Amino acid sequence: ALAACGNGDSESSSSDSDSSDGDSESASGEEKVIKAGIGLNDDHPQYKGLLKFKEIVEEETDSAIKVETYHSGQLGDDRSMTEALQLGTQEVTIPSTAPLANFVPEFSVFDIPFLFPNEQVADQVLDGEVGQDLLKKLESQDLVGLSYWENGFRDLTNSERAVATKEDFEGLKIRTMENDLHLDAFKALGANPTPMAFTELFTAMQQGTVDGQENPYATIYLQKFYEAQDHVSNTHHIYSPFVFLMSKSFYDGLSEEQQTIVKDAAVEAGKYQRELNREANEKYLQSLQDEGMTYTEITPEAREEMVEAVQPVVDEYKSKIGEETVEKVYQAIEDAQE
C-alpha cells in the first residue's frame, strides 16, 4: 500500500511531460529526483559530503538522477526523515546510528559507551563484515544503508559547571539523542537526561530546558552551541557514526547500473566526509575556547570511573542489542588493533 502511494505521484508528473512530444522513450529517460535531508547545518562536513554525493551522482548519471539537498532539519529530524524514507516520500537522509536503533535495535551496539579507541578502528569495524551486516538488517525496515559516515567522538558541554569527574555530572540536565541506552548511561553517571530531537536542541539550551548536551567539537562549533554553553570536557564517551540511508522503494526502482552509482557515490562521498570531519574535530576545540568556553580535560582515572559507572547499563543492554552482535563487534575491535 505504501509503494502504491509513492508511485502515484511520479506517474502523474511523468505523464505531464509525455503529452507535448509523445516520445515513447520518455519512460526510460525519465529523470529521477533524490530529496536528501540532514539535521546539521550547511557549514558542517556532513553537508559538504552530501554535496559531494550530489556532484558524483549527477555527473555519473548524466543528470538522469538529480539530487536536491536540504540541511538544518528543513525536512525534519532523524526519526521523522527516516520514517519519510520508509513511506517513500523522501529518498535520502543521514541519521546518527543512535536514533536508528529505534528501527533496528542492533544498531545500539555503537551506543555502548567507550567502545571504540579511535576513528581508525571504528572505520575498520563499520566498513568490515559486522558493520556491513548491520546495514543489511535495514532492508526489513524498507531502508537501504549504503555506507557509514561520521559525526565522531562525542564530548560534553554545559552551562552550569566545569565537568572533570563523574561527581560533576550530578543533576545536570543533559539532552541525549532519542536512544534508551544513552538515556540510561547518563542516568548511571548521575545526570538528569532528556531525549530530544536535534532540531529542538538549540532552543532548549537557550531557554534553559536543558543545561547541556554532547556532540563532537565540529558540531558544537559549527552549530554555534558556544552561544548557549560555557563549558566543554573531552569526555569522548561515544563514537557516533552516521548511516547514509536510502528509501528502499526508491532504490528498488533504480536500474542496476544506477544502484551501483548511488552505492559507490555514498561510499566515496563518505570517505571525503570523514576526512573533512576529522580535520574539523581537530581544529575546533581551540575555536570553542577562543569563543570563551572553558575546556576541562578528563584524566584517565576520571574516565575509568565513568567506564565503571556505566558498566551495569552495558551489561543490561547486551541482550536487548543482541549478544551475537555485541560479541562480533568486540571481536572486530580486537582484530582491528592487531
Q: Which residue stretch of 14-22, 34-42, 309-317, 323-331 sits at the interface with ligand KDG (rule: CB under 6 A)?
A: 34-42
* Position 38 contacts ligand KDG (CB under 6 A): yes
Least gap, CB of 140 to ligand KDG (angstroms): 22
Nearest to residue 95, comparing CAs of 85, 81, 109, 75?
81
Distances in Å between the alpha carbon of 57 and those of 86, 148, 259, 275? 22, 17, 10, 20
Q: Which residue stretch of 8-16, 88-96, 225-233, 297-305 sits at the interface with ligand KDG (rule: CB under 6 A)?
A: 88-96
Cell representation of residue 295: 575546556
Length, in residues, of the chain: 338
Q: Which is nearer to ligand KDG, 64 or 100 (CB)?
A: 100
Cell representation of residue 258: 544506477
Query: What backbone phi and psi angles, to 5 degrees, belong to 145?
Result: -95, 115
Q: Which is nearer to ligand KDG, 153 or 261 (CB)?
A: 153
* Number of helical H runs and strand E runs in the chain: 13, 11
Least gap, CB of 12 to ligand KDG (angstroms): 31
Least gap, CB of 126 to ligand KDG (angstroms): 16
| Footprint (CB under 6 A) of ligand KDG, residues 274-293 | none
* Position 96 contacts ligand KDG (CB under 6 A): yes
DSSP structural state of residue 96: B
DSSP structural state of residue 298: P
**Total number of residues that touch ligand KDG (CB under 6 A):** 13
CB within 8 A of 177, min separation 6: which ones?
78, 96, 98, 99, 195, 198
- Cβ-count burial of 277 within 10 angstroms (0-12 exposed, 13-18 middle, 19+ buried)? buried
Contact mark string toward ligand KDG, 138..177, x via CB under 6 A: -------------x-------------------------x
Cell representation of residue 224: 554555534
CB within 8 A of 77, min separation 6: which ones?
39, 197, 198, 199, 200
Q: Which is nearer to ligand KDG, 191 or 261 (CB)?
A: 191
* Position 235 contacts ligand KDG (CB under 6 A): no
Least gap, CB of 310 to ligand KDG (angstroms): 18
Residue whose C-beta lies closest to ligand KDG: 39
Residues at the contact surface with ligand KDG, assessed by CB under 6 A: 38-40, 46, 78, 94-96, 151, 177, 198, 215, 240
